[in-house]
Structures are given as structure tokens and as C-alpha cells.
Amino acid sequence: MVAAPAQNTEPDTTARVAHADRLIEQAMEEHDPHLLDEAVVLLRGVAAELPPDDPTRLAPLWSLKSALQVRFGVYAHPADLDDAVALLRELLAGTPKQHPAVVDARADLADTLLGRYRETGSESDLAEAMTLYEEGFPDLPAAHPARSGFLAGYADALLARAEAVQDARILDEAIRTAGTAVDAMAKGDHRTPSALCTLGLGLRLRFRVRNRPADIDTAVTTLRQAAELSVDADPNRPGYFANLGLALADRHAHAGNDEDLDAAIDALRRAVEGLPSESPEQHEASWCLAAVLKERWDRDGEAADLDDAITHARTSIMSGPSGHPGLAVRRWQLGDALFERFELHERREDLDEAVATLRQASVSAHRTGTPEAAAVNIRLATVLAERFERYGAEADIGEALELGQAAVAATGDDHPDLPARVASLGYLLQTSSHRPGRDADLDEAVALLREALRAPLRTPPVGEPPLSPPVTPTTGDARQQAIAANPPPDEPAAAPADAAEPGRPEPGPMGSGPTGSGATGSGATGSGATGPGAGEPGSVEAHTAHTAEAGDAETLASEQDGRNAVTFRLGLALSERFGRRGALADLDAAIAAYRTLREATVPDHPLHDLAGETLATLERARTEEL
């Protein structure tokens, strides 16, 4: 809270302002927003009683500005931020130019404008903030106690500008400026954690743009310092832990160190526990925590992690804003996690909730266009088909076929996911053929599965999108690639991180992560806290900044997994058709399919042994036929 200029106020006014200041402090200590409301009403009344040209009016305006900033951090009402900006402009204009408070007012206005820019995306707010920072430096000699904080704010604005104009040179300047600010701060300066957070966010973004391991290592170290140096009463502290968790998740994705994944979960848990339950940042942090928990479940197979991931994902979706642009992706991923838990425990309620959640994802995808509705519907169709297989509801397989056929029809001939969707429709038809009088469906299934194998597959067609590690919107694919396209002089542009696959939830999950460098008291309005936009929603991010060689290897492995899944389904369909009609050509083709599958999988792959056992059974049947 910035100190107000000393004023000779009337005793009653002074007492009321002092009481309001105590209410603000009490509200922050007790986390009671009602006290903030009381302080705002009281201060508005005091300010309204004083004439605009009364110099004693500045004191209640300073307190009112602070109360509005803190209240915005609780309720996130845009009007509070707008009022705070208006008050700061009035305070800056009304404070004598030689008064020491002018420096604080200029910095506070710049910081608040920067916070509003992140809320609204208004370029004029960012431009005004940059101007205030740049014009303020001549009035700040090197030894001025406010200079380091001013530098930190300017670094934050530079980081926002680097994202806005997508220029790596400005990103480098932001990192240099943040480092200078940190170095200039005295030991114990309460602004140090915020400056460290800005520096860490810049390094994390640069890692995702240029894939330099040293950047992510330094980002983790810096963000850990920010979290550890912050005090319990700092409202930004949970945001610092959130950013640390996201950086650790990035480094785990890059280097594969299991300790980083465990530490990311611990940091994100602290963020979730520390953020107000109704805040947008808490919803985002819960989603990010769900993502890394799901990844650890994939790694270790501990059912508790899957349960926790589902709980946090469900809470984030249910308590978050209904208009969140990433809602379709999040529902899709939650539906997949629920289906995975159904496969683990075979509890009908998980399967039913998975279907309901994927239906909601389909509705959201149709409304927003992100992700592609056909991709969501293919997944919903396969889950409905599984429910039909388990429980025999004719309506499920009927709906699944309609969804699958519509999805394939809506997919262009040049769409990279067309072969996978054709294969999924083949699987649905094969399942449908288990109904009496539906032999023709099996013929169509065989034809479609063969058609799918004629083209390379990018991903297993019936697989589910992972709840992958979270990232903030500041590091989205589109922004990374654009920033990388504007490298500093004499530096080649880095290869962009692997792009998310079309038609799949883009791998950055669970959405945007909250950040801790905030100027408006929210704890999550600092660098990188812009709301999501396109993709998972708005920027969706690459899972990790792989090298080109690693990306090629992963692509090949993914294509092979896809072929193996389709080959297995084709062999199953052919063996079923042989069982119904006794055509040796089908038996021979099934044997050939399982031989191919066995040869294409390594011995420890689950399909390898299954292919071998099935092949032995089919070869015995072939011998008996002879």
C-alpha cells in the first residue's frame, strides 16, 4: 500500500480515514471481503464530502484507491480496477510535482494499468503504462530507493509487450531489466519476490521459445526463490507457488526428472490451498494441479493420483466461469480421465459421468469451435460403444454410430486426422455388428479399417487425450513461434515447439496457470496472467520444447502406435467374420494381421503378448481347417 502525502485533515476526517485503513488491513489479515466493502463505502463518503480542490481530499483518495485494488483482487470486478485507475490519475495530477509521493503514484498507476491490460487486452493501457515507466526514469537517480521497484514494474511491462508484439528482442530486454531490478533490491525488500517472479516468467517463456535448458533451470531456481522469500501474508504468494509448479512441470516434460513432477505437484497444491476459493486463479491452479496429478498417475499408476486429478478437474470446471473458452477441452479431458478410472475399477457411475461430461464437451465445442467438434464426438462415440458392450443399451450404439459417421463426414479429405477417424468408425461398426442382424456392419468395419491402414496415422485412433502438464497462456504455440520468428540480431530463430495435433485437445492442458507477479493486489495479475484465448483456449501451448530430432522420433512412434491399434482391430474384425461365415480368406487375413502386429511391437508392449496368443489360437484353427 503506497503511503499518502501528509495532509492537514480535519480531526473527524482523519479518524474516519484511519478507521478505513484499519478495516483494509483487518480484511487482508482475516480474509474477510465484507470489511473491504465497509472501507470502500466509508472512504467514498469522506471523499464526497470534500470539495475537489480541497488538498485534504488526497488522503482519503489514496486509501480508497488501495481498498479498491485489494477488493479487485478478491472479487475481480472490473469497475473496481477502473475506479482505481481514475483515482490514481487524479492523485498524480493533484500531488505537487516535487512531492516524493509522485514517484509512487506514477509507478502505482503504471502497475495498475498493466494489470488492467491483462484483464481486458487494451493496448492503450499497456502503451500508457510503458510511457509512465519510461518517462519516470529521469526523475529517479541510481540511488533512489524506488528505482529497483520501478525497474521491476518496467520489466513486467516489457514482458507483456514482448508477448503483444511477439518479439524475442523485447523478451531479452525484459529479462535483463528484471535481473537488474532484483540485483538492485536491498536484502529483505518486500518487492523482491515479485521481481523474481517476473524474471522467472521471462526465463520460462524464453525456454519455451528457444529450448535452452539453462533458461528453464534458472527459471525454476528464480521462481523457487520468489516463493520462499514471500511471507505468508503476501496475497501473491500462492501465485508464486503456481508459477514454480508450472516451471517444474515444463522441466519435467523436457528432461524427464521424476523429482520435478513430484515437486510441481507439491507447489501447485500450495497454490490451490492458498488462493481464495472463489477466485479465477484458484480455478486455474486446480486445473493445473489436476494435469500434473494425471501425469503422475500415468507414470506410477497410483490410483490416488487419478482420483485427485479427477476431483480437482471436476471442481475447477464446476466452480469456474461458464463462459471459459477452454471449457470444451477441459470437459473432454475430464471425461477421458473418468473413463480411464472406469477401466480401472469398472464402476458404472464413472462411465456414466464420462458420457455426460463428453456430451457437455461436445456442446461446448460446437458453440466455440475449439476444439474441433468432430474430434470430441469421435471420443464420445467410442465411450458410448464401450457402454453398449458392457451394458447392452441399444440407444448407446445407435448414438455412437451417428456421431462417428457425422464426424467422418465433417472431416476433409486432407485433414491429418481423417485416417484415425475412419478407423474409429470402423471400430464402432464392428461393435454395432454384435447386434442381431447387423452382419453388414462388420463388412463395412473391415473395409474402413483397411482403408485407415493405407494412410499413416498420427495417433492411436481410439486413444484418449492426456491431461498433460499445464502452462500459462503467455507461452502458447502461436506466440512462441511468432516470438521465435523475431530473434535478436545475429541469432537464428529456434525451431518451434511441437505443435498440438489438430483435432485433439492441445497438450497444455489444463489451461492457463495463475501467476504471482501482480500490481493490483490480486496475486495473479502479474506477468503472464492474461486470460486464455485460442486453443486451450487462447494460446494453447506446446507440451514441451523438444528438439527437432526428438519431435521426429515421437511422431514416428505415435504413427506406429496408431497402426498397431488399427491392425489389432482389423485382426479382431476378420477373425469375428471368419467365426460367423467360415471364410478361410478372412482367417488367413486375420493371421497376417496379428503376425504384423507381433513383429511391430516390442516384447514388453501389451499388444505383443496379446498378438502372440491370438495368433497361436488362429493358427491352430487354420491347421484344423486343413
Express each pLDDT in 497-538 by its tens digit.
332 322 222 223 333 333 333 333 333 333 333 222 222 222
pLDDT at 557: 65
DSSP letter string over 466-535? --PPP--GGGBHHHHHHHHTSPPTT-PPPPPPPPPPTTS--SSTT-PPP----SSSSSS-STT-PPP-BT
**Bigger pLDDT: 622 or 492?**
622
Nearest CA to 361 out of 343, 385, 337 is that of 337
**What element of type H or E holds 162?**
helix 147-165
Q: Output the CA–CA distances (angstroms, integers) from residue 337 to 264, 298, 450, 540, in the order listed.
A: 20, 11, 30, 20
Least confident of 92-96, 122-126, 446-450, 480-484: 480-484
- For the ranges 254-258, 334-338, 472-476, 565-569, which has the lowest average pLDDT? 472-476
Query: Which whole number is the average pLDDT over 535-552?
Result: 31
Share the mean pLDDT of the chain.
Answer: 83
> Which grid cell is 386?
464401450
pLDDT in tens, 416-448: 999 999 999 999 999 999 999 999 999 999 999
Q: How far apart are CA 14 and CA 423, in angstroms?
A: 75
Which pLDDT band holds residue 73 (cuts at 50, 70, 90)? confident
8 Å CB contact between 299 and 467: no
Q: Are 161 and 170 in contact (CB under 8 A)?
A: yes
Q: Yes or no: say if 268 and 316 are a contact pair by the CB < 8 Å rule.
A: no
The pLDDT of residue 531? 26
Rg of the chain over Cα atoms, rounded to whole angstroms, equals: 29
**C-alpha cell belonging to residue 430:** 464392428
For Cα atoms 177, 182, 185, give the angle at the middle one, nearest 5 degrees: 125
